[in-house]
Amino acid sequence: MDSTLGEKLARMSASRRELIATLGERERENLALQKETLAAALEIAGVGTQEILEWTPATIERTSFLDGLPGARVREDVMLHADLAGLPGFAALREAPHIAARTFQSETDPSVRVTVVMANRLVLEEQTGADLIYFNETYRSFVLVQYKAFEKGPDEHEFRWTQGDQFSGELERMDKLLEQLEQIEPDTDPDGFRLTSNPFFLKFCARIVFNPDDRGLFPGIYLPLGLWKVLAKSDRLKGPRGGNLLTYSNVGRRLSGSEFITLVAGSWVGTTISQSASLEAMIRSVLETGRTVTFAVKRRPPPDPEAVSEVLPELDEGETLTPEEALVRVAN
């Protein structure tokens, strides 16, 4: 009688539950982070997250959350290559052994689409986390969000780190990439204006629990990298014994989820147009850490397969290609 309840009950089938039960703890955590990056990308693009509920565990080798969504394409798919061949960073994506992609479309405005690619070098249980790289094709701006998990402390959720640990190394890589970006000449194009051209953000999540029937975002704290640096140098993030400690109560100002989405959706933050050419280095840097890259590209209007031949080498005299042959040429 209620179609929405019917959809929910269909997701609770015995076979689906049994497949989910086979997931290991590390697989669940990585899938949860990947689902979070996908949901964030869809929210920023204004597409909606309803299609996340279509997820079912893949029965073959699982490498990303996208593997379980109907309509996902794998790295050998010709259309995947045709859609992404002209994007900055595509060469770095092609180096990853595992690639899956899916295009999501706004229900209210069909011209608004976001193509999401999840790329990684490792199988699911060996991955070390997930980063979201969101690229607005209209304003040629990208941001990168790295996700970190809070632990349950005696009084509240907390995040601890020490000099020289994995988190410190990840911050150092961001600093090196930021130094390269800052050497690029500033934009004079009005579309290149940003409140800040530092594209790096951290999200500290209060809990990372894999629930494929929840399409919402994890509760947590968004911090621009610049603010994090100021906080880390101050005495604010110190525990009672002098250790490094981040909590909800001592962080002070932070971005809420809605504030972050608004800033990124309008490209008020992120790289300038000229800086975005460095996206390939960004993707390659994340892949080398063993983390999954969720590369989300908002496009308006959607790419036209008929125009793919424009990126091909010059044809021999008298040679013609059908659109299908052109797509194959691009893929090769």
- Concatenating the DSSP letter of every residue in 20-66 gives HHT--HHHHHHHHHHHHHHHHHHHHHT--SGGGGG----SS---SGG
Domain-located, residue 317:
no
Domain-located, residue 201:
yes
Domain-located, residue 112:
yes
200 has pLDDT over 90:
yes
DSSP-derived 3-state class of residue 288: helix
> What is the residue range of 159's domain?
3-301
Q: Which of 4-8, 124-128, 200-204, 278-282 shows the lowest per-residue confidence on average (mean pLDDT)?
A: 4-8
98 has pLDDT over 80:
yes
Q: What pLDDT does 262 receive? A: 95
Domain-located, residue 309:
no
Q: Which of 10-24, 25-39, 198-212, 231-245 shows the lowest per-residue confidence on average (mean pLDDT)?
A: 10-24
Q: Which helix (H) or strand (E) holds 214?
A: none
Q: What pLDDT does 229 receive? A: 93
278 has pLDDT over 90:
no
Q: Which amino acid, residue 131?
A: D
- Of 11-20, 122-131, 306-315, 321-330, give the range with the top mean pLDDT: 122-131
Domain-located, residue 322:
no
Q: How high is the mean pLDDT of the chain?
A: 83
Q: Which amino acid, residue 111?
A: S
| Domains identified in the chain, total number | 1
Would strands 200-205 and 141-149 be described as parallel, antiparallel, or unpaired? parallel
Q: Which amino acid, residue 8?
A: K
Q: What is the phi-psi region of residue 89: left when phi exceeds 0, alpha when psi lies from -120 to 50, beta otherwise?
A: left
Domain-located, residue 306:
no
Q: What pLDDT does 302 receive? A: 46
For 137, 142, 289, the CA distances from 273, given in Å and listed in that order, are 10, 9, 26
60 has pLDDT over 70:
no
Domain-located, residue 157:
yes
Domain-located, residue 103:
yes
Angle at 70 between CA 262 and CA 113, to 5 degrees: 35
Model confidence pLDDT, tens digit, residues 110-162: 888 898 999 988 888 888 888 999 999 889 999 999 999 999 888 889 999 99
